[in-house]
Amino acid sequence: MSETAVTTPVSVSKGRSLWSDAVKRLLAGRAAVISAIVILIYVLVTLFIYAAEFGSSRFGWGIPLTNYNEKVGSEYEPPSWKHPFGTDYKGRSVLRKTFYGARTSITVAFLASLISIAIGVPVGAMAGYFRGFVDEIVVWLYTTLSSIPYILLILAFALVLKDRSISLPWPGAPTFRLAGIASVYLAMGLTSWVGLCRLIRGETIKHRDREYILAARSYGCGRARIIFKHLLPNVFHLVIINFSLQFVGFIQAEVILSFLGLGEKDKPSWGAMIDDARLTLTRGFWWEMAAATLAIFVISLALNVFGDRLRDALDPKLRTE
């Protein structure tokens, strides 16, 4: 028997961070990739429409696809090769309206998410880190908000904010007039930060007593630095998961709010399209509702599937090796 240590080639696996691992696992599934592509398409359509609008107001471009107001045919034409989704009561292309509806929905959901994250994350982190009085206030605040049934809360906010002019409290400050759609995403953002806040607060509490935070404090890290540089990156995956799950909720909520008349009045939105269809369905004009339903269904499905896969990929408890 040899005395020297046996040198067998031992393979060393490269260190895999949570993110690279997650991305790899996520992209391995077909469902995740397809839904990601679908989501990307919707986002691109939105950006395209913004670019086109900007272009037409600045440079006078006339891109037909984004010109939803143009009368392209007679009223209530059923779907055909010329008009794939038919026309509405004003003879406008339903296809164009559907595309425009995507812009409305994606924009609203995105802005609402932004507001929700901008409020929820810092508040949750502060409450979890500082504890004490700050924590008590924050917990009281979000318990109160979550005691009000969600739909009612959004309705209340949207109703009050609609067409309102906000003037900031100090003299000489400008007055903002809230456009129709602003009341919707403001209402959603200002009410939905609660879930995320709770999550972040919980995680922060769990992490703040861990050794790595203690270590950071021991070499003199200030509180802000600790929160932003050390704590938040460790809870960030929760923000992503929450974002993807809430996004669908926002899209569906916007549809309902627009349907009830609280959203954008003059620009097309899927909810408004369904509202129009409600009255005309009995006369046999089904295509506008079908188009809106299809558009909502596809993006909701894609977001749900992607969100599920994302959660599976990012949830450390499910990591096996």
Partner 1 sequence: MTAATNDIILSVRGLATHFRTHGGTVRAVQGVSFDIRRGRTFALVGESGCGKSVTALSIMRLIPTPPGTIAAGRIELHGRDLLKVNDAQMRSVRGNEIAMIFQEPMTSLNPVFTIGDQIVEAIMLHQKKSRRHAWVEAEKLLARVGIPDPGQRVREYPHQMSGGMRQRVMIAMAISCKPSLLIADEPTTALDVTTQAQILDLLDDLQQVEGMSILLITHDLGVVAERADDVAVMYASKIAETGATEALLAQPLHPYTQGLLRSLPRMGVAADRLAVIPGSVPDPREFPSGCKFHPRCPIGCDDPRCSSLEPELRQVSEGRQVSCWYSPGFETPEESQDFDRRYGRDKRKSPSA
Partner 2 sequence: MTVYIVRRLLYTIPIVFGVLLITFLLFNVVGGDVAGLIAGKNASPELQAEIRHEYGLDKPLIWGWDSQFVDHFKNAITFNFGKSWHDREPIIDKIKRGAGPSLSLTVPMFIGEILIAISLALIVAYLRGTWIDTVTVLLCVGGLSLPFLSFILAGQYFLAYKLGWFPVFFWPNLSTPQYVALPVLIGIVAGLGSGVRFYRTVMLDEMRNDYVRTAFAKGLAARKVLFKHVLKNAMIPIITQTVLTIPFLFLGSLLLERFFGIPGLGYLMVEAIGSRDFQVINAMTYIGALLFVVFNLITDICYALVDPRISLE
Q: Which residues bind partner 1 (CB under 8 A)?
A: 1-2, 5-8, 10, 28
- The DSSP symbol for 307 reads H
179 near partner 2, judged by CB under 8 A: no
DSSP tally for the chain: helices H, then strands E = 11, 2
Rank residues 20 and 143 by Cβ distance to partner 1 and give the closer one: 20
Q: Give the residue with the Cβ less far from partner 2, 232 or 292.
A: 292
Q: Which does 282 bind (CB under 5 to 8 A by kind): partner 2, partner 1, none?
A: partner 2
Decide: is 272 part of the binding site for partner 2 (CB under 8 A): no
Length of the chain counted residue by residue: 321
Q: Minimum distance between the CB of residue 140 and partner 1, rounded to whole angstroms?
A: 32
Cα separation values, 298 from 56, 175, 232, 291, 309, Å: 29, 39, 33, 11, 17
Helix/strand/coil percent split, the chain, to 5: 70, 5, 25
Assigned token pair, 254: 């916007």
Binding residues with partner 2: total (CB under 8 A): 44
User: For helices 94-130 and 232-259, what crossing angle results, to 10°?
Assistant: 140
Residue among 10 and 224 whose Cβ is closer to partner 1: 10
The reply on whether position 8 binds partner 2 by CB under 8 A is no
Closer of 90 and 278 to partner 2 (Cβ): 278
Q: Using CB under 8 A, pick the residue from 160, 168, 179, 214 that binds partner 2.
A: 160
For residue 106, which of 301, 243, 251 has the smallest C-alpha distance?
251
Nearer to partner 1, 14 or 58 (CB): 14
Binds partner 2 (CB under 8 A): choice among 56, 67, 234, 252: 252
| Residue 80 binds partner 2, judged by CB under 8 A | no
Q: Give yes or no for a contact between 102 and 295, defined as CB atoms under 8 angstroms apart.
A: yes
**Among residues 4, 8, 147, 218, which is the contact residue for partner 2, using CB under 8 A?**
147
What is the end-to-end Cα distance of the chain in Å, rounded?
35
- 8, 13, 175, 282: which one binds partner 2 (CB under 8 A): 282
* 278 part of the interface to partner 2, by CB under 8 A: yes
36 is a site residue for partner 2 (CB under 8 A):
no
d(CA 200, CA 191): 16
